């Protein structure tokens, strides 16, 4: 990837010479849901945000499974801002199971969920500024599963492992952490009864539950945290479930 640092002011960053006067964040899959919430929170803090997403809109539109798209996107960010402070790998991999997922679809899920985060970290490696952070969005499915979710689960498990590998390789330069959301409602729905109460906190999560943790992990307050995976699931993965205990009932699958 060829890059150059422009000597004039360019769209997106305020510059004095080639020195950015604001921080820069990249958010993949940032057009909606958790990614949009994260991008909006950065903007509220005066951070210049670059979003890449497959859907059309007021952002860089492209498929992060495509190497050429990643290279062109990274080049744009570097040319306009000269450096990067935060990389949030949030884009959603395909979820299909062993009965229906083809070889090509499984490879695509891994390309979005694991390869793209790795390659973006590699492309931006020379341009991370002091105090930079990478936050990988994994899932509580990196440690537990439902039937027919292999492509998504493998991608989320991969990015959780990639997190501690990158944290070691980038030690002293970039802190790298991951977040594993549980059930996060992105549609402003209201959940009551069992849907809410099955979580020990008594409710379904929302995008701000994740965005708040991203903001913390990117802050100086988290300066001694790297290589960690933080599960934000209302305590669901910590709850022991046995048939006929505390109202839980096992039902055989058809």
Six token digits for residue 65? 């499974």
Quick one: which of 175, 130, 173 has its CA closest to 19?
130
Pinpoint the alpha helices (H) of 82-201. 103-110, 116-124, 150-169, 194-197
* Active-site pick, 152, 242, 246, 250: 152
**Active-site annotation holds for 152:** yes
164 vs 176: CA distance, rounded Å: 7
DSSP codes of every residue in 25-84:
EEEET-SSHHHHHHHHHHHHTT-EEEEEESS-SSSEE--TTSHHHHHHHHHHHHHHHS-E
Name the region of 155 (left: φ>0; alpha: ψ -120 to 50; beta: rest): alpha
Tokens of 124: 């931006």
Q: List residues with catalytic annotation.
A: 152
């Amino acid at each position: 990837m060829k890059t150059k640092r422009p000597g004039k002011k360019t769209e997106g960053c305020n510059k004095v010479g080639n020195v950015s006067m604001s921080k820069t964040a990249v958010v993949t899959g940032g057009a909606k849901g958790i990614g949009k919430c994260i991008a909006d929170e950065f903007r509220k803090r005066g951070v210049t945000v670059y979003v890449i997403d497959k859907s059309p809109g007021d952002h860089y539109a492209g498929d992060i499974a495509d190497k050429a798209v990643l290279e062109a996107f990274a080049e744009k960010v570097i040319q306009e801002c000269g450096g990067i402070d935060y990389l949030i790998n949030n884009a959603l991999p395909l979820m299909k199971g062993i009965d229906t997922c083809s070889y090509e679809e499984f490879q695509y899920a891994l390309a979005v969920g694991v390869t793209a985060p790795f390659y973006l970290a590699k492309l931006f490696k020379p341009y991370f500024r002091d105090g930079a952070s990478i936050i990988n969005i994994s899932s509580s499915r990196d440690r537990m599963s439902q039937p027919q979710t292999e492509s998504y689960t493998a991608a989320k498990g991969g990015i959780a492992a990639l997190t501690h590998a990158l944290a070691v390789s980038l030690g002293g330069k970039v802190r790298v952490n991951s977040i594993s959301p549980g059930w996060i409602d992105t549609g402003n729905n209201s959940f009551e009864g069992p849907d809410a109460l099955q979580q020990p906190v008594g409710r379904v999560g929302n995008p701000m539950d994740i965005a708040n943790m991203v903001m913390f992990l990117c802050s100086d307050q988290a300066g001694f945290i790297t290589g960690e995976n933080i599960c934000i699931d209302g305590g669901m993965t910590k709850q022991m479930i046995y048939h006929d205990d505390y109202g839980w009932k096992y039902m055989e699958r058809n």
